[in-house]
Amino acid sequence: MFLKVVGIFFVGLAGLGVFLPILPTTPFLLVAAGCFAKSSPRLHQKLLDNKTFGPMIYHWQTSRSIPKRAKIISLITMVLGVSYSCWLLDNNYLRILVILLVACPFVFVARLPLSKEDT
């Protein structure tokens, strides 16, 4: 039951991430898929059957890789989100903090291998 609730929470965060560029949609969906795989096969299958996110989740679960298009969109969105945030902020320390907070996820996504179909 706990994993099911956590999975639903992360699907909600992923839904917000579709509209808010600073929230990463894909990692939240991957966490949700992991939670559902252990707690609710029905919800796990619903995520896998999703036309938009299902293939990405499948590739991650089978080969720990992501499609090239998803990688490019993720990296560009992170750069645009950080750039916009830095443009809005007046304090250089806050700008540095925003850059540092996004640096690790950026490097993580940049180092992920591409799905076999994309190489």
Q: What is the value of pTM for the model shown?
A: 0.66
Per-residue pLDDT band at 3 (split at 50, 70, 90)? very high
* Better-predicted residue by pLDDT, 116 or 87: 87
Model pLDDT for residues 11-59, shown as the tens digit of each residue: 999 888 888 767 778 788 888 999 999 999 999 999 999 998 888 888 8
- Token reading at 36: 């559902």
Cα–Cα distance measured from residue 1 to residue 7, given in angstroms and rounded to the nearest whole number? 10
The vertex-73 CA angle with 53 and 80, nearest 5°, equals 130
pLDDT for residue 23: 74
Say whether pLDDT at 119 is over 50: no
Model pLDDT for residues 49-99, shown as the tens digit of each residue: 999 888 888 888 888 888 888 888 888 988 998 999 999 999 999 999 999
pLDDT for residue 109: 86
- Token reading at 118: 């994309």
The vertex-40 CA angle with 47 and 17, nearest 5°, equals 40
Cα–Cα distance measured from residue 78 to residue 17, given in angstroms and rounded to the nearest whole number? 11
